[in-house]
Amino acid sequence: METSPQERIESLVKNGLRARLQTGSLVTGQLFVDMDIFPDAEPATVIQGGLYPEIPTVPSSLQGMIANVDRILNKVEQSDLEGTLTNLNELMVSTNSLVSTFERDAPVLLKEFGATLQAANVTLTELQATASADGEIGNQLQDALKEIGAAARSIRVMAEYLERHPEAMLKGKSGNP
């Protein structure tokens, strides 16, 4: 079944046929109509009613760039550039103040930090000497460990005796007064 030219054009438009105005020569300003398939184009239909059917259009690349520039300029106009610049200026002043304070106080802080590290080093050395085997705490720990060892030996001897003589739990150790 054959389709009419009008039906073929309508089918092409449904599939993305669009026209756009292009520049043929920048020197002369000559323009031409470019027709192409744009699959991502918005849905459209052929407009009937005149001598010729009207095919939907898409903006030319130059028109698209101009529209993008217009959108950017509108956003710039709507933004608060003056407030942003004021905030940036305040941030710079605050940062300069912070750097000045740090430059002024850093030597003192570094000196105090060094003294604190030195004091901590002395304290650790004293603690190490006290807790060593020759120090006071070390001697006390060694004595305590010796006593614990002796108590463990006594318990072991008693456990071995009770294992061999369970009646000693009831009667006591025989043969000793």
- Answer yes or no: are the C-beta atoms of 63 and 26 closer than 8 Å: no
Confidence check: pLDDT of 177 > 70:
no
- CA 171: distance to chain centroid? 77
Q: Is position 57 within any domain? A: yes
Q: Is position 126 within any domain? A: no
Q: Are residues 9 and 74 located together in one domain of the fold? A: yes
Confidence check: pLDDT of 175 > 60:
no
Q: Is position 90 within any domain? A: no
pLDDT of residue 37: 92
Q: Is position 107 within any domain? A: no
Query: Per the structure, how many domains does the chain have?
Result: 2
pLDDT interval class at 63 (50, 70, 90): low
Q: Is position 93 within any domain? A: no
pLDDT of residue 58: 86
Confidence check: pLDDT of 107 > 60:
yes
Domain boundary among 38, 53, 78: 78
pLDDT of residue 133: 65
- CA 175: distance to chain centroid? 82
Range of the domain at 155: 133-172
Q: Is position 94 within any domain? A: no
Q: Is position 26 within any domain? A: yes
The mean predicted confidence, pLDDT, of the chain is: 82
pLDDT of residue 114: 84
Q: Is position 113 within any domain? A: no
By mean pLDDT, which of 14-18, 113-117, 132-136 is the weakest?
A: 132-136
Separation between Cα atoms, residue 78 and residue 84, nearest integer Å: 12
pLDDT interval class at 51 (50, 70, 90): confident
Domain boundary among 78, 96, 120: 78
Bin 49: left if φ > 0, else alpha if -120 < ψ < 50, else beta. Answer: left
DSSP 132: S
